Structure 1
Amino acid sequence: MPRHNRKRVETRRGTATVEFAVVAPLFLLLTLGLLQGSKLFDSHSVMAQAARDGARLGAMDRADWVSQGINSNDKIKQDVRNTLAAAGFDPEDVDVFIEFPGEPGNDFDLDDPANDFELFELRIEVPLNPLVETHNDNENQLKMVSKVVFRNSKSTIVQ
């Protein structure tokens, strides 16, 4: 073998190891990020569907499926929590709010006749800690939020 070819082979020795050492952590980080992102996307999709289903129940005529003495708001909140619990969420971590749209803290009573045909917002909040490992203290906890606005129209289902 000529001398100049041997020198070229010797200078490339270990190159693949160095390239792997540089690329492998980046590839691993990208893969883990995609897994966490897909988990968050899936969780938000489940939350959005639960919010739509709960708000749809709130927009319907509840006389047939809500027993006497049971508040519609409480029934819908519990149904949303049960739906999310069936999807793997901890129901103790799920906060459900039924409020006037754009007015956080101003509760909307679905059973109040004064609120007939008014818009209401159903909002679900879940802390990110169980879904993704975060390093936040309990006071500044990040939350994933899903909300939807419906009209309290008391419509009926036509089949």
Structure 2
Amino acid sequence: MVRFRQKQVANRRGTATVEFAVVAPLFLTMVIGLIQGSKLFDSHSVMAQAARDGARLGAMDRADWVAQGIQSNNKITQDVRNTLAAAGFDPEDVDVFIEFPDDPGNTFDLDDPANDFQLFELRIEAPLSPLTSTHNDNENQLKLVSKVVFRNSKSTIVQ
């Protein structure tokens, strides 16, 4: 009986090494995927907050905080880019669009009185490659997008 047990132990030598060799790459792939996924989730939540803040500014009465001669669209676009730059995005790579929600590509002018009480969409697009370890050519660049729709109501802040 002692021989039988010794034979079983001898047959199991090296199994832990083989199991580790099989499981380690899978585990490492999962860990790297979780890290990349959490970076993307964090980046998207920062972009969503920047979009909400920019659209909220667009929906408010801008007479007190936008200097004379500066268009509201430009001010909000710059504010959104500054917010994203503070979060680690390259502001030159970030595209900010203020458009009609039902007519993409048609710019919504926040200062135009004809657009008062109309819905507008603020959309932010940032390339995905700086946020992950993937590299894409410029023609097929994947983008992380966040957008929000607000009403150009020129409401005031009540304190």
1:121 aligns with 2:121: yes
> Counterpart of 1:106 in 2: which secondary structure?
strand
1:112 aligns with 2:117: no
**Amino-acid identity (%):** 84
Aligned residues: 159
The aligned counterpart of 1:94 is 94
Q: Give the structure-1-normalised TM-score.
A: 0.98
Structure 2 CA distance, aligned partners of 1:136 and 1:89?
18
**How do 1:8-27 and structure 2 match up within 5 A?**
8-27=8-27
Paired AA for residue 71 in structure 2 = N
Listed as ranges, the gaps of 5+ residues in structure 2 are none
The aligned counterpart of 2:2 is 2
Paired AA for residue 152 in structure 1 = N
Q: Deviations over 1:72-108 (max 9, x none)?
A: 0000000000000001100001000000003221100
Structure 1 CA distance, aligned partners of 2:100 and 2:124?
14
The aligned counterpart of 1:59 is 59
Q: Give the structure-2-normalised TM-score.
A: 0.98
Paired AA for residue 55 in structure 2 = A
Structure 2 CA distance, aligned partners of 1:87 and 1:49?
11
Listed as ranges, the gaps of 5+ residues in structure 1 are none
Q: Deviations over 1:35-84 (max 9, x none)?
A: 01000000000000000000000000000001111000000000000000
Cα root mean square deviation, aligned: 0.9
TM-aligned CA deviation for residue 133 of structure 1: 1.8
- Name segments (4+ residues, structure 1) moved above 3 Å: none
The aligned counterpart of 2:71 is 71
The aligned counterpart of 1:141 is 141
Paired AA for residue 52 in structure 2 = R
